[in-house]
Amino acid sequence: MAEDRFGGLTALARPLLADLGRLVTGRGGPAAGPLNIEDVRALARRRSCALPFSYVDSAAEDFVTHRANLRSFEEVTLRPNLLTDVRERDRSVTLFGRTLASPVLLAPTGMPGIQHRDAEFAGAGAAHAAGTVFTVSMAASHSVTAIAEQCPGPLWFQLYPWGNADDFTPYVELAARAGCEALVVTLDTPVGGNREADRRTGFTMPPHLSRENIGEVVRHPVRFGRWVATLAAGPGIRMGNIAETGVTGGMNAVHQATKFEAKFVPGFSADELALVRRMWDGPLLVKGITTAEQARRAHAAGVDGVIVSNHGGRQLDGLPAAVRALPEVADALDGTGVEVLLDGGVRRGTDILKALALGARAVMVGRPWVWGLAAGGRPGVDTVLRILNTEVERDMALMGIRTLSELGRHSVNVPAAWAYAAPGGI
């Protein structure tokens, strides 16, 4: 008995002592790496200069919509299907004829080169390795041409619809030449949002000195120096697509960014969207849809997909959470063949299952992959996708589903307060 008892204690102590050794030597313990997306965000915050981190983390005005994106997922509860054999599970989805290994797509984000020199090369490479889509922003640090040459996976291209067709047409042509499979037109940015946090830090175009950024230099000179080195080693605030098309004129990075913002004209209408439809032969999506009425107008213009999104709460504060708007949009487009995606607030595998149950075919994540980039370059983005995909597979088993297509409204409970006037026909 004594031998068994002490032998058991020895077996228990051995891995604990090994963990202690790793912690003492700085190599960490069994949970040394990020376990979830919030851990990735925290790691990015520790490793990043405050200025670029706050740019990604900021939102418009009082952050009402930004907070709602996260909180509203908590209001949806799950209804598992137990007594089901789920030893084999398939998390793939099919979008526009292409089967993807994951329902998680990487959303377009502007100027990730301010976070890490690899920028979109890291994001697109991680997406390709995970069997999913990377969406190149019109304001990307590297040009879509360079990204396509470096990363062989499927690419989509995001277009800001400047009011003048002569200005945005070169970008449509650029995306086509690079072999992008789909075009995503962002509709919710006729003008820039009122992001007061960016104005306080001076992280605007052109940049300005402020108490916050001067204080960052004084408090964290080493971290600030690393960030300056990152800007020098990579694309920094340069916009690759802008430089390649030459639409804004000049190659100076600050000049590009300043002119880029000046090009926004609140004059993009359904007529211009129909023009883009005629120009683009592949799948056409619009991003920024939050109501049934918007969805119907987009369908009438001939789009193939809509992305339910409020721009991460970075544009108009007071919009509904993306997941709260999702059922209304999905119902309005039911039976039309238009694909519905969700962007905004996704941080967990359960968030993804809830979105798919409420009518999305797939989800997009923006801030999470940029946090991964800031935390560790390409390995950091790999980690973000691994975390989300692992959670999806685990949650599928816990939900009792073998494929994502088994999800539906029967899979969730939605608050009665989410009810809306049923949309009419298309």
Neighbours of 262 (CB within 10 A): 11
Measured distance between the N- and C-terminal CA atoms of the chain, rounded to whole angstroms: 76
State yes or no: pLDDT of 1 exceeds 60: no
Domain ranges of the chain: 37-62+73-197+243-284+352-407
Mean pLDDT of 256-270: 75
d(CA 289, CA 310): 7
d(CA 123, CA 107): 10
From the list 359, 57, 80, 92, the residue with the least C-alpha distance to 203 is: 57
From the list 149, 138, 147, the residue with the least C-alpha distance to 173 is: 138
Mean pLDDT of the chain: 89
From the list 111, 166, 170, the residue with the least C-alpha distance to 136 is: 111
**CATH number of this structure's domain 37-62+73-197+243-284+352-407:** 3.20.20.70
pLDDT, position 407:
98
Structure-model confidence comparison of residues 408 and 260, the more confident one: 408
d(CA 80, CA 103): 20
pLDDT, position 346:
99
> What digits encode the pLDDT tens for the residues 61-104?
999 999 999 999 999 999 999 999 999 999 999 999 999 999 99
The number of residues making up the chain comes to 426
| Residue 6 identity (one-letter amino acid) | F
pLDDT, position 280:
98
> What digits encode the pLDDT tens for the residues 314-335?
999 999 999 999 999 999 999 9
> What digits encode the pLDDT tens for the residues 372-414?
999 999 999 999 999 999 999 999 999 999 999 999 999 999 9
pLDDT, position 89:
98
Query: Cβ(372)–Cβ(40) under 8 Å?
Result: yes
* Coil vs helix vs strand at 47: helix
State yes or no: pLDDT of 30 exceeds 60: no
From the list 102, 110, 107, 111, the residue with the least C-alpha distance to 124 is: 107
From the list 160, 134, 159, the residue with the least C-alpha distance to 147 is: 134
Name the residues annotated as catalytic: 311
State yes or no: pLDDT of 29 exceeds 60: no
In Å, what is the CA distance from 283 to each residue of 30, 203, 305, 315?
44, 35, 8, 25
pTM exceeds 0.85 for this model: yes
